Structure 1
């Protein structure tokens, strides 16, 4: 499979979602989905060290649903997104955040000099990339000692395993043709092989975006509880992934 063919499929998929929904994924527009994004952005700001004066890359920025949350840190946020349709929506949403923008680009060939960014952060995007080419590019544009933080789907979670491996179910849930998910030890190993250091990967999150609004307070508490229980936490819906250059 060539890098170009995968990139073309991702572009087509997210262009279509922008046209049909004006969003990236159904789960980002529910109340529970919005709360999940809030939590992930707080984690990215914390572990990415986002603050005024920092310059941050957000790969796969989509329609800026996550970008606008990152922008509250005061850092300069540069989102890169392969879908022009999503970028058009994104920059309309970022008018109130003058230090944030999203540009059209391909993660496999970034148009930035070496060591441009203090941090690279994102939500649920690494599993769309061809990491063989994407990780070296991200490492190249990250400053020495810079932070790398993503939240990504956990392949040990039963629902994630089903939708990523049974393609017709994945299509019904708006999965793109090539996306996957990660085992904790797998992404740890991939990052090491690509030159990253100080790596840690932590499973978390049992709050599903489809939870009814009235049940969210209960499931939020339950999610935090389960995310701290040994063995059970391993099947959480997501992984926190941290590394440094």
Structure 2
């Protein structure tokens, strides 16, 4: 089985079962980065053509459509696409949904003003992915992605202990992936989140996670500003990619 088939099989199972729910309890501490991502992708969105890279019933496609964007959503998982279609009907919005390989898009050049995705780039061959993103973005278009980073030893230990929750081929982003992006984009801007706030993830109660994460996220901001080398040990990056 090749890499794309493995990814499709894994995500079909994840969307069809409760596998995705097993890790959601750890993500209550990422409210700050998720809000930053949501605010970025919705910024001045009315009237823009948007491609959501990787979708599902919990994706941003629906709120983007409600905000006035013309939204297209793709995923390698046909289960995810069917769930996205059903949710779009339920919410009363129009989203064009396609089963598609994110590394080999069928859209014309310069098709989209904005491309966004959450937890998708680290599943892809980034050279092929970046090339396709730069091709389908209009001049001045913006790509915005919410992604895990690969340097934090605590997070990496957790990844090693829970191999069933991830695919064999995924690769949290590294500095070299940011450098590769500069080959295809004029502006590459990573924003970094969650260092000490990772500790809140180990508290069982979601409300307690949020309460502890707030001051720790503030501490993280201070650390990243005063000790920039610590950014690489963040858990999450929101990555902006722009072609001029």
Q: TM-score range by the shorter chain?
A: 0.7 to 0.9
Q: Give a deviation string over 1:78-133, Cα, whole Å, max 9, x none.
A: 11100001111122122225243432111122121110000111111100011122
3-state SS in 2 of match to 1:151: strand
Note the C-alpha offset of 1:29.
6.4
Q: For 1:83-94, list aligned pairs within 5 A.
A: 83-94=77-88
What are the Cα deviations for residues 118-151 of structure 1, in whole angstroms up to 9, with x where unaligned? 0111111100011122211111111011011112
Return the alpha-carbon distance in structure 2 between the equivalents of residues 28 and 71 of structure 1.
25
Match 1:81 to one of 65, 75, 78: 75
For residue 219 of structure 2, give the secondary structure of its aligned residue in structure 1. Answer: helix
Equivalences, count? 233
> Quick check: 2:117–2:144 contact (8 Å CA) kept in 1?
yes
Gaps of 5+ in 2: none
Structure 2 SS opposite 1:229: helix
Whole-angstrom distance in 1 between the partners of 2:8 and 2:29: 23
> Alignment partner for residue 206 of structure 2, among 190, 213, 224?
213
Distance 1:163 1:141 in 2: 36
Equivalent residue, structure 1, for 2:142: 147
Distance change >3 Å, CA 30–CA 158, structure 1 → 2: closer
* Aligned residue number for residue 237 of structure 1: 235
Secondary structure (helix, strand or coil) at the match of 2:171 reads coil
Partner of residue 176, structure 2: 186
Find the residue that maps to 2:2 and give its secondary structure: helix
The 8 Å contact of residues 75 and 81 in structure 2, kept in 1 or not, is answered as yes
> In structure 2, how many angstroms separate the alpha carbons of the residues matched to 1:225 and 1:69?
31
Partner of residue 100, structure 2: 105
Distance change in 2, residues 1:37/1:222 (3 Å): closer
How far, CA to CA, are the matches of 2:47 and 2:21 in structure 1? Answer: 31
Please report how far the alpha carbon of residue 179 of structure 1 lies from its aligned counterpart in structure 2 after TM superposition.
Answer: 0.5
Matched, 1:11 2:4: no
SS in 2 for 1:155: coil
2:18 is equivalent to residue 26 of structure 1: no
In the alignment, is the contact (CA less than 8 A) between 2:50 and 2:113 conserved in 1?
yes
Distance verdict in 2 for CA 1:57–1:199, change over 3 Å: same
Give the match for residue 188 of structure 2.
199
**Contact 1:31–1:213 at 8 Å: present in 2 too?**
no
Q: Find the counterpart in structure 2 of residue 128 from structure 1.
A: 123
TM-score by length of 2: 0.83
Higher helix fraction (1 or 2)? 2
Structure 1 runs not aligned, ≥5 long: none
**Counterpart secondary structure, 1:80:** strand
Spell out the pairing of 1:165-180 with structure 2 (5 A cutoff). Answer: 166=160, 169-172=161-164, 174-180=165-171
SS where residue 223 of structure 2 aligns? coil
Runs of 4+ in 1 over 6 A off after TM superposition: none
